[in-house]
Structures are given as structure tokens and as C-alpha cells.
Amino acid sequence: MQQAMRHLARKHAAFGDTTHTVGSSVALPSGDLKKLEVRGPDGLGAVFEGDRLVGRSTVRFSRTERPGIYRVIGTDQTGATHERDELGFVVNLDPHGSDLAAATAAELPPSGAGNSPAPADHTRRIELWHALAAALLLLLLAEGLLVQR
């Protein structure tokens, strides 16, 4: 699905793997940039410049604790700063947490195993909507009779 969306948006991955999960590190190509800033969904991030950027073809960003959109802002050799859309990335939650396979009886808590007796509940539930509907019907009939007189 993600590849189809990238194709439809005509934004093909320019670098490495584009599937990032929370806690993983992302390798970003630095190219000819003299400053590279990564901002997370909460606005916090990291700045790579000077010794952290000189002589490297990629930098590794590992502060991906929150899922969301991470923006990359680069400053080139001329001093022009602009957002680098082709380097931006998205961090998703780990998909293994949404496994819908049925759990075994050993994985369930004792109350969910299905072999314990149900608690005894001797209270009787009384529904009032039948009586309220009947009273409303009688009021409408009475109103109809009074209007005709």
C-alpha cells in the first residue's frame, strides 16, 4: 500500500529502506550539505553540522521514539536553507502488535479462559421503554380525540 501511495504521489524513495518503525535508526544521505536538521512530530529533533557532517555521505538519526512525520531541513554550501522533502520520512508503530490471530488458552488470563463459572447475578433487569412507548401512544390517541371534539 505504501509503495502504491508513493507511486501515485510520484515520490519514489531516493535512499534505502523507507519503512521505519518506532525505535529504529534512519540513515540520511548528507550529500553536499553543510547543515542537516531533522524535526520529529513533536518539533524536537537533532542538528548535524560541522564534524558530525564533514566527510560523511550519510548520517544516522536514531531519535525515533514517537510515530509520525519527520521533516528534514538542509543548508547547502551557498547558505540557502530549505526543507528537503525527498529526505523526509515517516515512523510507524510496529505492525507485529496488531496481530489478529486467536490467542491460545495458555496466553489468556484466568478470567478469559472460558473454563471458570460465570458469576451469579440474581438481579432482574427491568426495561422501561415498553411502558414509555405505550404511554406515549396513549397520549397521542387522547390528543387525537380531543382535537376532533
Residue-wise pLDDT tens digits, 86-113: 888 999 988 877 778 887 888 777 765 5
Q: Residue 143 has which C-alpha cell? A: 390528543
Do the Cβ atoms of 126 and 54 come closer than 8 Å?
no
Answer whether residue 143 is part of any domain. no
Q: Specify the number of domains making up the chain.
A: 1
Task: Write the single-letter amino acid at 134.
Answer: A
Answer whether residue 65 is part of any domain. yes
Answer whether residue 99 is part of any domain. no
Q: What pLDDT sits at residue 116?
A: 58
Q: Tell me the pLDDT band of 114, cut-offs 50, 70 and 90.
A: low
Do the Cβ atoms of 22 and 64 come closer than 8 Å?
yes
End-to-end CA distance of the chain: 69
Answer whether residue 40 is part of any domain. yes
Do the Cβ atoms of 13 and 5 come closer than 8 Å?
no
Of residues 122 and 73, which shows the higher confidence score?
73
Domain that holds residue 60: 2-94
